[in-house]
Amino acid sequence: MDKSHPWKLYSSWMPPEESEALLSQALDHWPWEQGKVHLFGSWHDEPRWSFFQADPGLMYRYAGRTLVGSGWLPELHDLRKRIEHDLGIPFNSVLVNGYRHGADYMGYHRDNEVELGQNPQVASLSLGATRDFLLRRIAPPKDRHVLSLQSGDLLWMKPPCQDVFEHALPKRIRVQGFRINLTFRLIH
Ligand SMILES: O=C(O)CCC(=O)C(=O)O
């Protein structure tokens, strides 16, 4: 970790055999949805698949989309417990993103929705294709950082990351493989 930045990368947090098994389970069995978001006055398909899991009744809203928790798949509940143990902080929801190929992406944003409270903690586990992940400081000097996230890497975005930096997963047209990203969050 670069000590001057509010994130910590645990490379190969998940061993490769487990990441591969989970990826294949995810492709065959997870409840993927094509989400729609409201941006610039109209509805758009998100450029990725996703789904949300959380303790029953918890709600998460972004870009006009409302997601409601109704419990956990056993393998996601197990992951949540392991990440809570390793980072020493609680999570009660996960947004799972599926990038089908390098043309799927997520633009610059912050995970700072009101339901995440004052100091959002985000733990982000990557599986599958390696993709660049960008962090850009909002205020000058507006420094920009590129992390190459590989299968099994766990990125912890700690406070004040969501106040000071925005992040993005840019298009990388040459990437052909599927990538999954699980972002664990605490909804208040
Ligand atoms: O796919 C990623 O690594 C980033 C996902 C993300 O930024 C988000 O879900 O808020």
pLDDT value of position 12: 98
Angle at 48 between CA 41 and CA 137, to 5 degrees: 75
d(CA 38, CA 40) in angstroms, rounded, equals 7
Mutate to test the pocket of ligand 1, among 7, 94, 100, 124 (most ligand atoms within 8 A of CB): 124
What pLDDT digit, counting tens, does each position of 140-186 carry? 999 999 999 999 999 999 999 999 999 999 999 999 999 999 999 99
| pLDDT value for 87 | 98
For residue 81, the surrounding DSSP H or E stretch is: helix 74-87
The whole-number pLDDT of residue 1 equals 41
| Residue to mutate (ligand 1; options 136, 155, 182, 183; most atoms within 8 A of CB) | 183
Whether the per-residue pLDDT at 57 is higher than 90: the answer is yes
Which pLDDT band, with edges at 50, 70 and 90, does 4 fall under? confident
54 with 73: CB under 8 angstroms? no
pTM of the model: 0.95
Average pLDDT, the chain: 96
Q: How far is the first Cα of the chain from the last one, in angstroms, to the nearest whole number?
A: 28
> Which pLDDT belongs to residue 2?
46
Ordered by where they begin, the domains of the chain are 7-185 (2.60.120.590)
Among 167, 179, 180, 182, residue to substitute to test ligand 1 (most atoms within 8 Å of Cβ) = 167
Q: Is the CB of 162 under 6 A from ligand 1?
A: no
Average pLDDT for 119-134? 98
Atom in ligand 1 nearest the alpha carbon of residue 50? 9
